[in-house]
Amino acid sequence: MASISVKDLVKQLKNQEYSPVYYFYGKDIMTIEKYTMGLAKKLLPDGDDTYNLHTFNGKELDLGELAEVAESLPMFAEYVCILINDLNAESLSADDLKYLMGIVDGLSDGTVMIFYNTGIDVCDGKKFPTAKNKKLIDAVSKKGTVVDFAYKTQGELVKEITAKAQKNGCDISRGNAEYIIALCLSSTMMINNELDKLTAYVGNGEITREAIDALVPRQLDSSVFDLSRAVVQFNTRRALELLDELFVQRAEPLSALGAISMAFVDLYRAKLAISRGVSQSQVIEDFGYKANRRFAVENAFRDVSRVSVEHLRRCVRILSQTDVALKSTRTDGKLLIEKAIVEMSTRR
């Protein structure tokens, strides 16, 4: 056994082909939670979980207790199911990690252990899992199944949104589906929650842009994209209106400035890429954009055509100076950012 896709996992579970151990990780935590609980329910239906379901907090894991449970036999059921949430192997000593890997390797028939991560990043912000987490993942892959629940592509999400809307008696255009994805930053959990609200509100009929704007709250990043677009279009009034909206949403000055700075770095990269004939996909790969931020590159390529490299450099410089001022003076943070927005959105 080894690492498999979510699609292959679905097939296995449908065919009741269970592994003795699973390791679920990735950015799409809602889907991780869904499949973990769904798998536990399949293993222990109809109240079989009373004596046979054991849950552990990975941050306070007692390896001795885990070893004891792993050796127990099912009581009036077919399986013992062990759930371990948010275990970061980097927190374990080398000896403890070796001991845990031994527990995994020695799992007996009738015991299913599920490691699932919904509150930690086993990759520590990098592309691949950290050294100790990789050791544990490799141990699981030899004995059972590993699944990386990455964010779905925009095309996959559009299909799911369309299908769910139709199932609830509603229609939605591709453009509006993509708009929801952008507002929800490609998060499956957020998309599902907002789509439930929209279909309940619309009832039967078309999910319009007006309905989306009325019901779906704007996330910090999605609001910042509109703000940065107004700046590069030299629309100072609109940029300041959008900045006010950010603060109405109770964005902290440092967080707001960080998001704005990131958006302008995206624009600067896009402008240079276009001037050198580099594609969006290459920029995404070169700079390691995660799936939930790929739309940032697409937006940047779209919005940057009428602004010069020199002006973008000036904007990045202004933002850098504002960051220093924000961290080193007592001047009101909102005023500092407003001043920066006015400077950036003024032609020279």
CATH number of 3-148: 3.40.50.300
Distance CA 12, CA 246 (A): 45
**pLDDT average, residue stretch 116-120:** 90
**pLDDT average, residue stretch 317-341:** 93
**pLDDT average, residue stretch 237-261:** 88
pLDDT above 90 coverage of the chain, percent: 64
pLDDT of residue 297 exceeding 80: yes
pLDDT of residue 133: 97
Going by C-alpha positions, the residue among 229, 215, 151 that lies closest to residue 183 is 215
pLDDT of residue 252: 87
Write the CB contacts of 164 (distance below 8 Å, at least 6 apart in sequence): 192, 195, 199
The domain defined by 154-215 folds into Helicase, Ruva Protein; domain 3 (1.10.8)
Reduced DSSP (H G I as helix, E B as strand, rest coil) percent helix, strand, coil of the chain, to 5: 60, 10, 30
* R_g over Cα of the chain: 24
Q: How confident is the model at residue 291 (pLDDT cuts 50, 70, 90)?
A: low
pLDDT of residue 293: 73
**pLDDT average, residue stretch 171-182:** 92
**pLDDT average, residue stretch 185-214:** 89
pLDDT, one tens digit per residue, over 177-198 is 988 988 887 777 788 889 999 9
Six token digits for residue 41: 């329910």
pLDDT of residue 193: 86
**pLDDT average, residue stretch 15-44:** 91
pLDDT of residue 154: 82
pLDDT of residue 6: 87
pLDDT, one tens digit per residue, over 305-328 is 889 999 999 999 999 999 999 999
pLDDT of residue 292: 62
pLDDT of residue 67 exceeding 90: yes
Between 145 and 186, the more confident residue is: 145
Between 99 and 120, the more confident residue is: 99
pLDDT of residue 245: 84
pTM for this predicted structure: 0.60
Cα 116 vs. chain centroid, distance in angstroms?
15
The domain defined by 220-344 folds into Zinc Finger, Delta Prime; domain 3 (1.20.272)
pLDDT of residue 31: 84
pLDDT of residue 217: 81
Going by C-alpha positions, the residue among 145, 123, 125, 120 that lies closest to residue 134 is 123
**pLDDT average, residue stretch 155-176:** 94
**pLDDT average, residue stretch 61-66:** 96
Cα torsion 191, 193, 195, 199 to 10°: value is: 180
Give CA separation, 294 vs 36, 85, 283, 289, 297, in Å: 27, 29, 10, 6, 5
Instruction: Match 């993942």 to its residue by tokens.
Output: 137
pLDDT of residue 85: 96
pLDDT, one tens digit per residue, over 254-289 is 888 998 999 999 999 999 999 999 998 899 888 888
pLDDT, one tens digit per residue, over 37-57 is 999 999 998 777 778 999 999
> Domain extents for the chain?
3-148, 154-215, 220-344
